[in-house]
Amino acid sequence: MTELYPADRHEPLSAPPWDAGAARSEIEMIVTDARASVDDRGLWATHPKDRDDGSLRLTDLYFGAGGAIWTLQHLAGAGAAADGPSLAHHLAPMRQQTHAYHEALGVQTRAYLTGDAGLLLAEWRLAPSPAIADALAEVIAANTHDPAQELMWGAPGTLLAALHMHRATGEARWVDLFRAGAQVLEATFVRVPDFPTLIWTKDLYGAQRQHFGLVHGFAGNAFVLIQGRELLPAKSWTRWSPRLAETLAASATHGDDGVNSTAGVGPSRPGRIAPVHACHGACSPGGSLARRRAARSASGPVVQKPKRAR
């Protein structure tokens, strides 16, 4: 039988009956705990795997407090949790801290999940202003040709911000930004050795690879294009749709219980089945910060992309 996921990297499944009240109580417990444990700067304690001496507090959308603030407000807005303090006034200082932190590491500062774009969007959602919108538009435009070609650092992530802003405001500039990024993605969606159809090659952490996952690979890029297809010219989406379907089919590994994919293309990951979570490799020992610090000492500063020791 084909293995669809590495069992030793996942919690065993359980099947309790669905209980909406129990789910709501669990969400309320998490939200209450989060609000009680935030400090006067809007920050939370850093996870032990991302901690240096305990003084560091991560602030971006993916690893840090910016994402926690976004989540708390989203849950309250969706009616899944009681209203509480927005903590919106903390986001601008967090963005400045994140920006300075990435500059010190020698990596780009524009990213959606880890940089300026995500925190600017969070700021705008909680306290809209023309100045924040203009700053976000500049960041998205500057990230159009980033070589990462994936959701975390590259243009696909910042295109999500453009899509959100267009849906919220209807302004044409967000359509233009989305289409510019989509054109770059189309130009770089090409054939590579050892894979039968089109795929993106991401230039990230000092290496060029083709991955299938959500945060660093095909799935994330495809998600952005599918979500924003109403912003694309009709002929463009007519080209995209069958190409994305073909690549999705080529990446699939079928088993008795369903479908998964391998982590990526090429000899470095032959037949390796991807974990069943958003960012393949997120369970790697050492945590994200350890990898970033190793990159800084091993690789020195870079201008366009982050590097990480392997």
Instruction: Determine the pLDDT at residue 273.
Output: 66
In this predicted model, what pLDDT tens digit does every residue of 134-148 receive, in sequence order? 999 999 999 999 999
Q: Where are the domains of the chain?
A: 143-310
* Per-residue pLDDT band at 14 (split at 50, 70, 90): confident
Q: How far apart are CA 309 and CA 307, in angstroms?
A: 7
Which helix (H) or strand (E) segment holds residue 241: the answer is helix 234-251
Higher pLDDT, 103 or 269: 103
Q: What is the mean pLDDT of residues 142-160?
A: 96
Contacts with 287 (C-beta within 8 Å, 6 or more apart), sequence order = 47, 48, 49, 50
pLDDT digits 0-9 by tens, 174-215: 999 999 999 999 999 999 998 999 999 999 888 999 998 889
With 60 as the cut, is the pLDDT of residue 287 above it? no
The pLDDT assigned to 181 comes to 98
With a threshold of 0.95, does the pTM exceed it?
Answer: no
Cα separation, 213 vs 195, whole angstroms: 16
The DSSP code for 273 is B
In this predicted structure, which of 152-161, 218-227, 232-241, 272-281 has the lowest mean pLDDT? 272-281
SS (H, E, C) 126-174: HCCCHHHHHHHHHHHHHCCCCCCCCCCCCHHHHHHHHHHHHHHHCCHHH
298 vs 263 pLDDT, higher one: 263
Tokens of 99: 């920006």
pLDDT in the model for residue 258: 81
